[in-house]
A = this chain, B = another copy of it.
Amino acid sequence: MAGTQAGGDPAFEDLTARARIRQAALAQFTAHGFERTTIRGIAGAAGVSPGLVRHHFGSKQELRDTVDAHILKEIRRLSDLLMAGSRRGELDAAVVSREAVRPFQAYLARALAEGSTTLETLFDEMVTSTETFLALPEENGHADEEPHFVDRRTRAAVCTAMALGVPLLQAQLSRVLGVDITSPAGDRQVALALLDIYAHALMSPELAHSARDALLATPLPAEP
């Protein structure tokens, strides 16, 4: 696994040992998840001793919390930066928000799937952001073309979870598409696919209605 060794990045050695450890932890948590990542592995990638990891961060869990907090801060910073730099409100707030998340997509998705209390907030904000995004066409005169089955927040939450499915299944996706979707080219292809999907209805209203009727016709099974 090249690139995770110490000294792979030229600017890597200029960082504080503490920052190097945090960065190595970020990479390893992203690649292998929290459980499979070992303190020794992080220390090795950062070019320090395992003891120093504990010296700086106390425990593995505290290290994770620190990385989570760092990601949170970094996304907020990027979001503000993009929000301020978007000339004439070029694209919408939700798009900007998604763009701010992109660099840490994989880590964020994994952390949320594994259950991170620190980043729960971010998920909630993404849902809210998606919610306002979904409200856009409904305010632009496209009102009630088709009635909705559930309220907007529910749709926003499901959409947010679905969007995070892409980085979570990046291995499968890369395999099927024949491109590493973490590479610039692959990422662009996925971005285009997402725009394409968002721009079209995937189902005809008739099919959706018949499916809903079929769903509501079957009785709800009792709780065990």
Contact = CB atoms under 8 A, between A and B. Distances in A.
Contact of A210 (B91, B115, B158, B185): B91
A60 to B, nearest CB: 14
Nearest to A134: B202
A120 interface: yes
Given A157-B177, A202-B134, A215-B191, A166 B169 contact: no
A166 B162 contact: yes
B158 A195 contact: no
Contacts of A175: 120
B120 A158 contact: no
Contact of A166 (B115, B161, B196, B223): B161
Interface in A95-139: 95, 109, 112-113, 115, 120, 123-124, 127, 133-134, 136-137
Contacts of A36: 35
A48 interface: no
A214 interface: yes
A50 B208 CA distance: 49
A223 B184 CA distance: 7
A78 interface: no
Given A91-B214, A193-B149, A214-B90, A220 B177 contact: no
Contacts of A113: 113, 168-169, 171
